[in-house]
Amino acid sequence: MLSILVVPGFANLITNGSFELGSAIPGPFVTVYGPNTATISNWTVPANTNVDYVSGYWTAAQGNRSLDLNGLRSLGTIYQTMTGLTVGQAYQVRFAMAGNPDLQPRYADLQVWVSAGGPPYASANFSFYVNGQDLNNMGWQYYTWNFTATSSTITLGFTSLDNAPEDYHPVSGYSFGPALDDVSVTAIPEPATLALVGLGLIGAGFLRRRR
């Protein structure tokens, strides 16, 4: 007798999380000025901010493209609105972070946040120490953060907090920021679901032993 165990999957709710889909980049990077919903597919750069859309300037964490959340003298923001979430369900955000290595040593900082049509209702700050990395070895690190959905439609955003003193680079100001790549959002399985999966695995093992 064959026993088939189906383990529930948890799909990534983010589209184009590694920023590979978007307009052609005529060089190693292009500065995307907001408001802009077209250049980086499925992502929005809001008004009064800008980010650098990087392709080839440095090694991405996944694929070829990534972001510098500080564009030209800007603490940039980028966000995406997700649908189909379950109210009360916990979700995990996972992303790769580094820092523009052209200015170091320093800490590159960003904030990840979620909103349900209004101001952010939950957020967390993350920091990456830029010291010794280079364009070919960015030292990407993966971080996770959990939130609970308060609506079936949730906006996930990332905002640069990397405001190194301007006297570090008086011409460019805040133009060296946190690097972002490989974003995903998945549901966190309920304990009861994990228990059922565990029981299924035990049952499958018992059946194998009886054969």
Q: Where do the domains of the chain lie? A: 29-190
What number is the average pLDDT over the span 188-209? 55
The pLDDT, as a whole number, for residue 192 is: 54
Its pTM stands at: 0.86
The pLDDT, as a whole number, for residue 194 is: 46
- 191, 19 contact by CB (below 8 A): no
The pLDDT, as a whole number, for residue 173 is: 54
CA atoms of 110 and 14, how far apart (whole Å): 19
Residue 72 confidence (pLDDT) above 50: yes
SS percent in the chain: helix, strand, coil, step 5: 10, 40, 50
Residue 50 confidence (pLDDT) above 70: yes
Q: Determine phi and psi for 199, rounding to 5 degrees.
A: -65, -40
Summarised one tens digit per residue, pLDDT across range 100-142 is 999 899 899 999 999 999 999 999 999 999 999 999 999 999 9
Class of domain 29-190: mainly beta
Higher pLDDT, 46 or 192: 46
Burial call 30-41: b when 16+ CB within 10 Å, e when fewer: bbbbbebeebbe
CA atoms of 207 and 89, how far apart (whole Å): 34
